[in-house]
Amino acid sequence: MVNRITGRMSGDLRRRRVGIVGYGHLGQYLVKQLQDDGLRHGLELAFVWNRDARKLVGTVPEELQLGKLTDFLERRADVIIEVAHPCIVQDHGESFLKAADFMVGSPTALADLDTELKLRKASREAGHTLYIPSGALWGGQDIQRLDDGGLLQALTVTMVKHPSSFRLGGHLGELAKGAQQERVVLYDGPVRRLCPLAPNNVNTMAAACMAAPSLGFDGVKGCLIADPNLPNYHVVEIEATGQGGFSVSTKRKNPAACGAVTGAATFAAFWSSLLVCQGHGGRVYLC
Ligand SMILES: NC(=O)c1ccc[n+]([C@@H]2O[C@H](COP(=O)([O-])OP(=O)(O)OC[C@H]3O[C@@H](n4cnc5c(N)ncnc54)[C@H](O)[C@@H]3O)[C@@H](O)[C@H]2O)c1
């Protein structure tokens, strides 16, 4: 029988080996999913790395713990998933792509132009895919198709969260603290400048920029809003406009525990994204 998502035969003996970099909320969720349900999808764990290795003890079998990230080659992973921090993408993304497909869990890292270009080049040259998980982005593949056809003219992503759901420093952090009574617009402008200011909060916007390379991080507009009246969910609104009066607006409500940075549905979305990572050649692929 053919698996609907992966396209693999259920009797396929060759399993894809998955390396997980980062063992926080997302990393732990993905490792558990792989342990519980990986074989059914033809996936097995190749390694788990975390900056603080003590966190792995007792939950990840010793032989699957990777001590030094630079030793990742020994584990012969087919796909490596970063769910740690944008700096891992910037420092190691290129070497990951030379050896394996690479799913970037922190796409805000790609707002750094050198990193984006370096990773696109490594992917092309090695024939390995740079996967961008859709996360909370609705309609990402439709945006990509519109962009591919040269029809996309403008794209705006608005994200609204309770002030306690932001992890912000500096000026934006101060603005968010002031949003106790009424909603406050924290930022409205190109996504490129916002990513380094709010790296943990705007991955969805960064994914939209990668889905629409004709606009990219300078052309896609991001609007970040703190709203004290949204304790249980995050809102992501997308507005795409194209030629001849074409437009699409979507509004997604993503249930989230009070103060949570990541909405509950985003965890399941990451797992679905991983199931798509079967190797799509040397290119960027929204999954
Ligand atoms: N694409 C999306 O839609 C989306 C959604 C949620 C989270 N994310 C991103 O995925 C990443 C992980 O999210 P999470 O919720 O699991 O976070 P988390 O804080 O729960 O876990 C992060 C893990 O990475 C480690 N880490 C932190 N800083 C590091 C550094 N500088 N170098 C190496 N390791 C470091 C931490 O020790 C921790 O184990 C974050 O960058 C987050 O912004 C993306």
Domains identified in the chain, total number: 2
Q: Indicate the SS3 state at residue 174.
A: helix
User: Within this chain, do residues 113 and 152 fall inside the same structural domain, yes or no?
Assistant: no
List the domain range (segments joined by +) for residue 191.
140-261
Ligand 1 pocket member 165 (CB < 6 A): no
pLDDT in tens, 70-114: 999 999 999 999 999 999 999 999 999 999 999 999 999 999 999
At residue 201, the pLDDT reads 93
User: Within this chain, do residues 31 and 130 fall inside the same structural domain, yes or no?
Assistant: yes
Ligand 1 center–CA 152 separation, angstroms: 31
Which of 83, 131, 137, when mutated, tests ligand 1's pocket best, judged by the most ligand atoms within 8 Å of its CB? 83
Alpha helices in 170-238 (DSSP H): 170-177, 191-194, 203-211, 216-219
At residue 12, the pLDDT reads 53
Average confidence (pLDDT) over 195-221: 97
Q: Is residue 10 part of a domain?
A: no
Ligand 1 center–CA 53 separation, angstroms: 15
* 90 half-sphere exposure, CB direction, 13 A CA radius: 11
User: Within this chain, do residues 172 and 239 fall inside the same structural domain, yes or no?
Assistant: yes
Is residue 81 a contact partner of residue 130, using CB atoms and an 8 Å limit?
A: no
User: Within this chain, do residues 164 and 243 fall inside the same structural domain, yes or no?
Assistant: yes
CATH of the domain at 257: 3.30.360.10
Residue of 177, 175, 176, 212 lying closest to 192 (CA atoms): 212
Q: Is residue 6 part of a domain?
A: no
Average confidence (pLDDT) over 175-179: 92
At residue 260, the pLDDT reads 81
Helix-then-strand count for the chain, H and E: 9, 11
Ligand 1 center–CA 10 separation, angstroms: 33
**Beta strand 130-132 pairing with 16-21:** unpaired
pLDDT in tens, 110-169: 999 999 999 999 999 999 999 999 989 999 999 999 999 999 999 999 999 999 999 898
Ligand 1 pocket member 286 (CB < 6 A): no
Q: Is residue 97 part of a domain?
A: yes
Confidence class of residue 46 from pLDDT cuts 50, 70 and 90? very high
User: Within this chain, do residues 27 and 111 fall inside the same structural domain, yes or no?
Assistant: yes
Ligand 1 center–CA 267 separation, angstroms: 13
CATH of the domain at 122: 3.40.50.720
Ligand 1 pocket member 83 (CB < 6 A): yes
Ligand 1 center–CA 24 separation, angstroms: 6
Residue of 156, 167, 191 lying closest to 85 (CA atoms): 167
Q: Is residue 122 part of a domain?
A: yes
**Beta strand 247-255 pairing with 233-242:** antiparallel
Q: Rounded to whole angstroms, how far apart are CA atoms 51 and 13?
A: 33
User: Within this chain, do residues 145 and 132 fall inside the same structural domain, yes or no?
Assistant: no
User: Within this chain, do residues 40 and 112 fall inside the same structural domain, yes or no?
Assistant: yes
Q: Is residue 192 part of a domain?
A: yes
User: Within this chain, do residues 103 and 150 fall inside the same structural domain, yes or no?
Assistant: no
User: Within this chain, do residues 107 and 175 fall inside the same structural domain, yes or no?
Assistant: no
pLDDT in tens, 233-261: 999 999 999 988 999 999 999 888 878 87
Q: Regarding predicted confidence, which is higher, 281 or 262?
A: 281
Ligand 1 center–CA 86 separation, angstroms: 8
Q: Is residue 9 part of a domain?
A: no
Ligand 1 pocket member 266 (CB < 6 A): yes
User: Within this chain, do residues 179 and 239 fall inside the same structural domain, yes or no?
Assistant: yes
Q: Is residue 91 part of a domain?
A: yes
User: Within this chain, do residues 144 and 255 fall inside the same structural domain, yes or no?
Assistant: yes
User: Within this chain, do residues 170 and 250 fall inside the same structural domain, yes or no?
Assistant: yes
Q: Is residue 211 part of a domain?
A: yes
Least confident of 7-11, 30-34, 80-84, 280-284: 7-11
